[in-house]
Amino acid sequence: MQKVLQDLINKNRKWTQNGNLADYIPELENVDPSILGISIFGLNGELYTAGDYQYKFTLQSITKVITLMVALMENGVDEVFQYVGMEPTGDPFNSIVKLETIKPSKPLNPMINAGAIATVSLIEGTAEERFFKIIDLIRKMTGNDRISYNDKVYQSENATGDLNRALAYYMKNYGIIKGNIEEHLEVYFKQSSIEVTSMDVAKIGAVMANDGKLISSNEQLIPAGIVRIAKTFMITCGMYNASGEFALKVGIPAKSGVGGGILALAPKQFGIGVIGPALDDKGNSIGGVKLLEELSRERQLTIF
């Protein structure tokens, strides 16, 4: 496997030249675009890595998967889906249009910004406590206690996050979100800014591939039913407006972030962490998607 991954990195690094770095905050722009790395963590505990697998990046939208699981564990399925929908959308991840044109103004799913903000709002506690619940789950899934958030990225996101503010206030107006918007956004921006390597992400994927049980101890960290919900959303809406194409071409649960990371997994087999900050026009890691496409084809990973 080690050699397979090394070959995949070598063959696919060229694609990074066709991508662009996220430009909406300076921290994401000042990055070497040719970075490409992958880690795979098997349910048997084996770790395979290649390329820039040690490169540190912020999770960005990838955390939406974790936050959804935290909210579901805390509130139950019925409560959460009163405030956020279950349906994929053909609109951009930061779109506000459907909040006006579909009533009630419930965001279509928890993988778009509006839906993730609504999900964050359902977690109880002070901003600090709420953020801790999210990062704590990530630390447990990865077994990595040193995981923290990147304050510079957080400050940047907070300073430039007026589109997310607009989404939040719009939903507040229609009762989808309650409470203090700035507090919700603090949690939302901080969880986006959690910093990891591809190895951490592979470990997150492995716990999900293991139906919520820790690899080391087999302890059921997250109920299997909740992991299943998260995996389903990863299939139907995990890769922004290229989720359908990814399902056809790769066919495994995956969630990308504009930091260039991708969380993916082969059920019952292994978790995958990918990093490649050069993005395609949909906002997904351009090299990362190519790499996963080839890996899936070679190993026949598709669930379809």
Q: Could you list the residues that contact a second copy (CB under 8 A)?
A: 85-91, 95-102, 108-109, 160, 162-163, 165-170, 172-173, 228-229, 231-233, 235-237, 241-245, 247-248, 251, 253, 267, 302-304
Q: Catalytic residue, from 39, 53, 64, 80: name it.
A: 64
Answer yes or no: 240 catalytic.
yes
Residue 19 CA to residue 113 CA, distance in Å, equals: 23
Of these residues, 258, 274, 285, 289, which one is catalytic?
A: 258
203 is catalytic: no
The residue from 120, 240, 250, 285 that is catalytic is 240
Look at residue 12 and give its three-state secondary structure: helix
Query: Please, what is the minimum distance in Å from the beta carbon of residue 92 to a second copy?
Result: 9
CB of 139 to a second copy, least distance (A): 26
Of the pair 140, 249, the CB lying nearest a second copy is at: 249
**What's the token pair of residue 43?**
């349910």
Q: Is 64 a catalytic residue?
A: yes
Of 83, 172, 188, 207, the catalytic one is: 188
Q: How far is the CB of 168 from a second copy (least distance, A)?
A: 8
Work out how close the CB of 252 gets to a second copy at its nearest, in angstroms, rounded to a whole number: 11
Nearer to a second copy, 81 or 132 (CB): 81
* Residue number with CB closer to a second copy (218 or 232): 232
Cα–Cα distance, 80 to 77 (Å, whole number): 5
Diameter of the chain measured on Cα atoms: 54
Comparing CB distances to a second copy, the nearer of 45 and 179 is 179
Helix-strand-coil percent breakdown of the chain, rounded to 5?
50, 10, 35
- How near is the Cβ of 111 to a second copy at its closest, in Å? 10
Residue 303 DSSP code: -
| Rounded-to-integer distance, Cα 41 and Cα 31, Å | 26
Chain-centroid distance, C-alpha 265: 12
Q: Which C-beta is closer to a second copy: that of 229 or that of 263?
A: 229
Residue 270 contacts residue 44 (beta carbons within 8 Å) = no
CA torsion, points 281, 36, 239, 3, in degrees to nearest 10? Answer: 130
Q: 188 catalytic, yes or no?
A: yes
Nearer to a second copy, 139 or 249 (CB): 249
Buried-exposed string 231-257: b where 16+ CB fall within 10 A, e elsewhere: bebbbbbbbbbbbeebbeebbbbbbbb
Beta bridge mates, 265: 271
Nearest distance in Å: CB 109, a second copy: 6
Among 79, 203, 193, 189, residue whose Cα is nearest residue 137: 203
* Residues with catalytic function: 61, 64, 188, 240, 258
